[in-house]
Amino acid sequence: MGTASMFGKHTFDVELDCPWMTADVWVTFTNDGEGLVTLESVVTRPNQQDITNLVNQDYLFDLISEFVSNADYHESDHGN
């Protein structure tokens, strides 16, 4: 299918689970288009507490990778 053009700043919502709680969060990241993905923030919904430093970074980057790979594709992603 090719690779989605997910450059720039993006936010998606996800549910984070641990043995003692579940948190609905927004994950915000930027992709510079040259392979550098930067985690901007992980913010709880609805009270907007920043928990970026409390969550496993490797897990978050796995979620970002999954989000990008499941993105809607456009004809221009394939050079058409």
Domain that holds residue 61: 8-73
User: What's the whole-model pTM score?
Assistant: 0.78
Instruction: Look at residue 24 and tell me if it is in a domain.
Output: yes
Neighbour-count burial of 27, counting CB atoms closer than 10 A to its CB (0-12 exposed, 13-18 middle, 19+ buried): buried
User: How many structural domains comprise the chain?
Assistant: 1
CA distance 7 to 40: 14
Instruction: Look at residue 23 and tell me if it is in a domain.
Output: yes
Contact 28, 6 (CB under 8 A): no
pLDDT tens for residues 19-74?
888 999 999 999 887 878 899 999 999 889 999 999 999 999 999 988 888 776 65
Instruction: Look at residue 3 and tell me if it is in a domain.
Output: no
The residue assigned the tokens 């919904």 is 45
Instruction: Look at residue 41 and tell me if it is in a domain.
Output: yes
pLDDT confidence of residue 72: 62
pLDDT confidence of residue 74: 59
Q: Is the pLDDT of residue 15 over 80?
A: yes
